[in-house]
Amino acid sequence: MEKYVSAKLHGIRVTDAKLNYHGSITIDADFCRAVGFKPLEYVDIWNKMSGARISTYVLYGEAGSRCCILNGAAARTCQQGDEIIIASSMFCEIDDIIDHKPRVLVFGPGNEIIDRITYEVFRRPDGALDMALKTETVENEYGFPASLTQQPPENSQ
């Protein structure tokens, strides 16, 4: 068993920070469902503005609200407007992550979804592991190597 990323929200902006709360992160339920975050699932949070890294659990916020609220002690690590990355992980075998195909949402300034990415791990014909990204956008603004934005071979896996 190894640890793999299972889902990610990339560049979502913090909409509020509530220090006097019992803890967690509240995220728009639509965003959670789109990538597969479950209620009370532990996630890692990386603040792109400060470099702070924390771990907490997910609460579903109002669907369609575009909310991303840090609660309790987590509120000390982020300010309203900070861009953060929220990632969940899973322990599994490589074949499980090949089947899982982790999903990523990428956000613009108003927490609108500007891209949907799928990470696809596959085996090359020689058995070596490789990966590709499926993205809804044509442009590669994320700094991914060009080799990752190509599609896996038809008979991979």
This prediction has a pTM of 0.89
| Annotated catalytic residue, options 4, 57, 89, 156 | 57
Domain ranges across the chain: 2-91
Active-site residue, 147 included: no
Given this model, what pLDDT does residue 68 score?
98
> How many C-beta atoms lie closer than 10 Å to residue 63's C-beta?
13
Helix (H, G, I), strand (E, B) or coil at 60: strand
Report the mean per-residue pLDDT for the chain.
Answer: 91
Active-site residue, 24 included: yes
CA 30 vs CA 23, 33, 44, 67, 108: distances in Å: 21, 5, 19, 10, 16
Given this model, what pLDDT does residue 23 score?
79
In CATH terms, 2-91 corresponds, of 2.40.40.20, 3.30.1360.120, 2.40.290.10, 3.30.460.80, to 2.40.40.20
Residue-wise pLDDT for 67-83, tens only, equals 999 999 999 999 999 99
CA 76 vs CA 30, 54, 117, 118, 141: distances in Å: 25, 10, 30, 32, 30
Residue-wise pLDDT for 75-109, tens only, equals 999 999 999 999 999 999 999 999 999 999 999 99
| Annotated catalytic residue, options 24, 60, 88, 119 | 24
> How many C-beta atoms lie closer than 10 Å to residue 8's C-beta?
23
One pLDDT digit (tens) per residue for the chain, 157 residues:
999 999 999 999 999 999 998 879 999 999 999 999 999 999 999 999 999 999 999 999 999 999 999 999 999 999 999 999 999 999 999 999 999 999 999 999 999 999 999 999 999 999 999 999 998 875 656 666 666 655 565 655 5
**What residues are designated binding site?**
56, 72-74
Picking from 90, 92, 107, 112, the residue whose alpha carbon sits closest to that of residue 37 is 90
Question: Which tokens is 57 given?
Answer: 């659990």
**What residues are designated binding site for substrate?**
56, 72-74
